[in-house]
Chains A and B, each alone.
Chain A
Amino acid sequence: MRLFRLLFYYEYLHFKASRGLLLLTGLLLAAGLYGIYYGTAEVARQRRHLAELPALGRHQVAELQVKFPGPAEAGEIGYYHHNYALHYPTAWASLALGQRDVNPYYLKLRLLGLQGQLYASENVNPVKALSGNFDLAFVLVYLFPLLIIALGFNLLSSEREQGILPLLLAQPVSATQLVLAKLAFRLAVVLGLGALLSAVGLAWARVPFDGRVGLWLALGGGYCLFWFGVVVLVAAGQRSSSFNAMALLGAWLTLVVLVPSLLSVYVAAARPVPQGLALTIQQREAIHGGWDQPKMETMRRFFTHYPQYRDTATIRERFAWRWYYAFQYLGDQSAAPLATAYANGQAQRHALAQRLAWLSPALSTQLGFNALAGTDLPAHLAFQQSATRYHDALRTFYYPFLFKKIPFTHADYARLPTHSFTSPSDTHAAWAGLGQLLLSTIAVYALGLALLRGRAVSIR
């Protein structure tokens, strides 16, 4: 222990004397703080928008009340009135924005066919989407390995190349003790920085202090441990510092960039999913076709789904709202198999990506962070399901007005259903990510230590 403390202390002296490493550590600290700011600012912006929507809804109701001063046809109100399905972020979302920037966090729904509205979101700036989110999870997953590489590429080769190793190993200290102490100091620097940034991020985002905090720290810590394992594995080869640096940067490029990109391509090819646009077109074609269908036929088909309205009056007019909404509904029904295939396909893609994520610890960690923050694809799909249920509730609310010809009064606006959804943390998925990460970490250490033990340390 005395020896370990001594070597640890001298590592601190070496670190203190290295301006480059101090600068890099400082830069990463700054990047982490910016990531926390970026994430919390983005979530605050989304919360602000979500908070403004009810007021916007009230404003629209006031406009409708002016437009329809007395009792109105519910079909008119259902046609014009926007209802908002709101997807609130959890406090955790500030630390890992996940897909909250590319998927809509609110939907503007009318009584019309649903499918087209589910995918009709505002356009995302593609340039901004390309660069991705600069949140804390990004800093931990993408940038921390670079600091670990900078700290560890010359783990043993530095002493050998400086010629100090023979004099050090002429003392009663083994190369393994030397490597472990050096590794421990570097690990302390990286984990300390990660813990500091996480503490600032958790406090800044006002994340509730519960078991998920431990899971977040375990994911971040486990990921750093994995990269130190890669450093040990490369150092065990006892090659030059420049070779080690190139090998480690190659590993970073492979595990952080290439493998996730290739997995994404593979998953997309292995689990083909119909496009949201195809869904919209199919639904729209069915709806447009509805205008040309005999009204009796449309209503007969509709009543098979809503038999409670079968005894309503036969439509004789040229246009009736209940007929209009019936073929809107049937449009959704015609697109239902495609919609189910779309949702299932997306879920299957995510499940496959999760299963294959062990190939890239960066991916396991990122998926774990997003699951913990409730910002992953399943969270968005859950929001879409919730919005679908909300649209059903709107239909249930409006249909009695439409089919029983009840006038829609000003008082009825207040009875309209409202929607709010907050995706919870998926701790099960986060634990799964942690499990994959730990297996990769154990494998890389086992390999590295076996190599280190199997080869005598070359002093020159």
Chain B
Amino acid sequence: MPPILEARNLRKEYPGKLALKNLNLQLAPGEVFCLLGQNGAGKSTTINLFLGFIAPTAGAAFINGLEVARYPLEIKRHLAYIPENVLLYPHLTGLENLALLSSLAGFKYSESELRAYLTRAGLPPEAAGRRVGTYSKGMRQKVGIASAVAKRAQVLLLDEPTSGLDPKASNEFSELLQQLSSQGTAVFMATHDIFRAKEVGTRVGIMREGELVDVRPTTTLNANELEQLYLKHMQ
């Protein structure tokens, strides 16, 4: 099966700093890849390269076989993105924000469908019609999750997506990811949460100073072993 997400010698340098060192990686449909690493390790840089927000210094990123740098708009039809801190238009309601994001992605949903997506993401139904300015961080995060699900993307790029979610909501999000994965969606998730990575990931990678130093299937080690492995690489 061809990879849905691929990095070939992907490299990003800033003046005086190597942000990502020749990353080679492939994700198959339905795979959940969790990327662990300290702050500044290069996790967000990797996601930004897949999104086309920054240009690589060398190498290339591919989404569904399309090179990101050459097809910056086309690749965005195949992916959805949830940042660490979902920020939305504060004067619009959750429904209006979701309608905007899904319309931009090319989906025209009825109000009841939009409400259903928000509920599925865990937003209380009565909050959907309220202005986002009144939302907590976790509630905004749920609108972000709803927008990603509503986009029916083949690839999910997640940058600390459970940041701001309470434990119950985090668990529900994990279930949602597993459900999407079983439907063939590939997930690339940058996280600090080793437990969550072990729980939802099919593979886990550890990144240090811009380099992917270890990749393991999650079936080969338990949460404690993963934590030990991570700490060993961070020393």
CA distance A174 to B74 in the complex (A): 11
What residues of A have a CB within 8 angstroms of the CB of B79 in the complex?
170
The docked-state distance in angstroms from the alpha carbon of A171 to that of B74 is 10
Nearest CB of chain A from residue B5's CB, rounded to whole Å: 15
B87 near A13: Cβ-Cβ < 8 Å: no
**Distance, CA A13 to CA B76, complexed state (A):** 25
Which residues in window 1-59 of A have CB below 8 A to B? 3, 6-7, 10, 13-14, 17-18
- Separation in Å of the A150 CB from the closest CB of chain B? 17
**Contact code string B142-157 (vs A, CB < 8 Å = 1, else 0):** 0010010000000001
> In the complex the two chains form, is B87's CB within 8 Å of A459's CB?
no
Residues 99-121 of chain B: 1 if any A CB is under 8 Å from the residue's CB, otherwise 0?
A: 01101111000000000000000
Known: A6-B104, A166-B53, A166-B81. A172 touches B74 (CB 8 A): yes
- Interface size of A by CB at 8 A reads 22
In the complex formed, the residue of A with least CB distance to B92 is A13
Determine which of B53, B81, B90, B100 lies in contact with A10 in the assembled complex, contact meaning CB atoms within 8 Å. B100
A163 at the interface (CB under 8 A from B): yes
- At the interface, yes or no: A199 with Cβ under 8 Å from chain B? no
Q: Does A173 contact B (CB under 8 A)?
A: yes
Chain A CB within 8 A of B18 CB: no
B61 CB to closest chain A CB, in angstroms? 14
Decide yes or no: A172 and B104 within 8 Å by CB, A13-B92, A13-B96, A167-B144 being known contacts: yes
Q: Does B88 interact with chain A (Cβ within 8 Å)? A: yes
Q: How far is the CB of A153 from chain B (nearest CB, A)?
A: 18
Given contacts A171-B104, A172-B104, contact A166 B55 (CB under 8 A): no
In the complex, B54 has a CB within 8 A of chain A: yes
Expressed in whole angstroms, the Cα–Cα distance for A171 and B99 within the complex equals: 13
A171 touches B76 (CB 8 A): yes
Distance of A96 Cα from B101 Cα, bound (Å): 47
Question: A163 near B85 (CB under 8 angstroms)?
Answer: yes
CA distance A7 to B92 in the complex (A): 14
How far, in whole Å, are A174 and B90 apart by their CA atoms in the complex?
22
CB neighbours of A162 from chain B (8 A): 87, 89-90
Given contacts A166-B53, A166-B81, A170-B76, contact A3 B104 (CB under 8 A): yes
A129 contacts partner chain B, Cβ-Cβ < 8 Å: no
A174 adjacent to B89 (CB under 8 Å)? no
Size bin of chain B's contact surface: 20 to 34
Expressed in whole angstroms, the Cα–Cα distance for A13 and B100 within the complex equals 11
The answer on a CB contact under 8 Å between A172 and B88 is no
Contact partners of B100 in chain A: CB under 8 A: 6, 10
Q: How far is the CA of A10 from the CA of B100 in the complex (A)?
A: 8
> Would A171 and B85 count as touching, CB distance under 8 A?
no
Residue A169 is within 8 A (CB to CB) of chain B in the complex: yes
User: Do A164 and B87 form a contact, CB below 8 Å, given A170-B76, A172-B76, A173-B73?
Assistant: yes
**Is B51 at the interface (CB under 8 A from chain A)?**
yes
What residues on A are CB-neighbors of B48 within 8 Å? 459
Query: A172 — which chain B residues lie within 8 A by C-beta?
Result: 73-74, 76-77, 104-106
In the complex, residue of chain A having the shortest beta-carbon distance to the beta carbon of B76 = A172
**In contact, A17 and B104 (Cβ under 8 angstroms):** no
Question: A161 to chain B: closest CB distance in Å?
Answer: 10
B88 engages A167 (CB within 8 Å):
yes
Q: Of A163, A168, A170, which is within 8 A of B80 by CB?
A: A170
Chain A residues contacting B105 (CB-CB under 8 Å) are 171-172
Please determine whether A171 and B89 come into contact, CB atoms closer than 8 angstroms.
no
For window 203-226 of B, CB contacts with A under 8 Å fall at none
Those 3 A-B pairs whose CB atoms lie nearest each other, nearest first: A163-B87, A17-B91, A170-B81
25 A-B pairs in the complex with CB atoms less than 8 angstroms apart: A3-B104, A7-B104, A13-B91, A17-B91, A17-B92, A162-B87, A163-B85, A164-B88, A167-B81, A167-B86, A167-B87, A167-B88, A167-B144, A168-B101, A170-B81, A170-B157, A171-B76, A172-B73, A172-B76, A172-B106, A173-B73, A173-B76, A173-B104, A456-B54, A459-B53
Given A166-B51, A170-B81, 8 more A-B residue pairs with CB atoms under 8 Å apart are A7-B104, A13-B91, A14-B89, A18-B91, A163-B85, A166-B81, A169-B53, A170-B157
Give chain B's interface residues, CB within 8 Å of chain A: 48, 51, 53-55, 72-74, 76-77, 79-81, 83, 85-92, 96, 100-101, 103-106, 144, 147, 157
